[in-house]
Amino acid sequence: MKRVGITGQKGFVGSFLYNTLGLQPDLYERVDSQKEDFDTPEKMDAFVEQCDVIVHLAAMNRHPDPEVIYQNNIELVQKLVDSLERTASKAHVIFSSSSQEERDNLYGKSKKEGRKLLANWAKNKGGTFTGLIIPNVFGPFGQPNYNSFIATFCHKLTHGEQPTIDQDGEVKLIYVGELVQKIIDNITAGVTHEEYIVPFTTSVKVSEVLAKLENYKKLYFEGGEIPQLQTTFDYQLFNTFRCYFDIKNHYPVKFTQHIDPRGAFVEVIRLGIGGQCSFSTTVPGITRGNHFHTRKIERFAVIKGKALIQLRKIDSEEVLDFYLDGEEPAYVDMPIWYTHNIKNIGDEELFTIFWINEPYDPADADTYFVEV
């Protein structure tokens, strides 16, 4: 059991790491970190003293004045170093630096100098230090106009805006889930590595990314069709795109019914992706689900009866309620990292069709049970 604290815990990478560590409570105890910990030495020391591992992610990425970015990031590292020294900590410190270290900008300079400050602490005080040199990171829940151009593109395409490309070129990317696994690998290894270059996993032109996202908008956002996803990057990009919907107002999506004297016909899902399609009946008052996925794509389609589908992002208290009625068949798709359930709230059996993009594998279920 390692006690792991994450500065910048509520940020893009920090929240993903925090939630992922929470999937293995037998291996990791998460030490909560607050932005206010940096305000006073007492708060900082109280945090540092609890940790076997500190992942330092807190940093400023963007500001109109680059000098503010530089001063802020150096100050955060110095406060951490001071606390490590005051508490005589022997924690393993993992620092997120950037491939921008070698560029002529103050953000890159702040990351390189911050890495050197922590490396010197480790050498002088007998600590363990890992300095990660990280390429461009993308993934779900990143802030548009801040974390990644992909976050900006996704937000604009799902909110009635058209993205523009200022400069097209090849970009080296890593998915946030892949980066988090690299961090966890380093937590497990527990060795000093002053300059650990995290390899990129995808190299792609900005225009190619935009073309894929525009296709997702046309097929999925506007038409409800699951697009062809041929590579790991396609899956990662599609799951990222899905997280920028205004979920409250997008779902439930009503199907088109074709009714004639024989009855009704409804197309439940159109796709080029495969997967597993299931049918269930649920008696009144019963709830199914209360679990979440970190990669799977899933659709609940109600075709008969009355249902309440609930979603909650696992690090949020907000519960989203969607009421569906088989009189107007409709579906809700499950975003990753949202725990979800479905309850029969009617007086008759509920008929539901479930589709998921992967057949169930008990050895790799990607299914984590958490009450909505």
pLDDT tens digits along 79-93:
999 999 999 999 999
Give the pLDDT of residue 233.
98
pLDDT grade for 157, boundaries at 50, 70 and 90: very high
pLDDT, residue 273, reads 72
Q: Which residue's structure tokens are 């249902």?
A: 307
pLDDT confidence of residue 256: 85
pLDDT > 70 fraction of the chain, expressed in percent and rounded: 99
DSSP per-residue codes, 311-368 = EEETT--PPEEEEEETTB-EEEEE-TTEEEEEEE-SSS-EEEEEEESS---GGG---E
Average pLDDT, the chain: 94
Mean pLDDT of 212-217: 97
Whether 63 shows a pLDDT value over 90: the answer reads no
User: Is the pTM above the cut of 0.85?
Assistant: yes
CB 332 within 8 A of CB 324: yes
Distance separating alpha carbons of residues 350 and 290, to the nearest angstrom: 17
What SS3 class is residue 263? strand
Domains of the chain, earliest start first: 2-137+171-201 (3.40.50.720), 249-369 (2.60.120.10)
Backbone angles phi, psi at 256, to 5 degrees: -90, 120
* pLDDT single digits (tens) 277-299: 888 999 999 999 999 999 999 99
Identify the pLDDT of residue 25: 95
> How does strand 287-292 pair with strand 193-197?
unpaired
Quickly state the pLDDT bin for 115 (edges 50, 70, 90): very high
What is d(CA 231, CA 34) in angstroms, rounded to the nearest whole number? 37
pLDDT tens digits for 300-348?
999 999 999 999 999 999 999 999 999 999 999 999 999 999 999 999 9
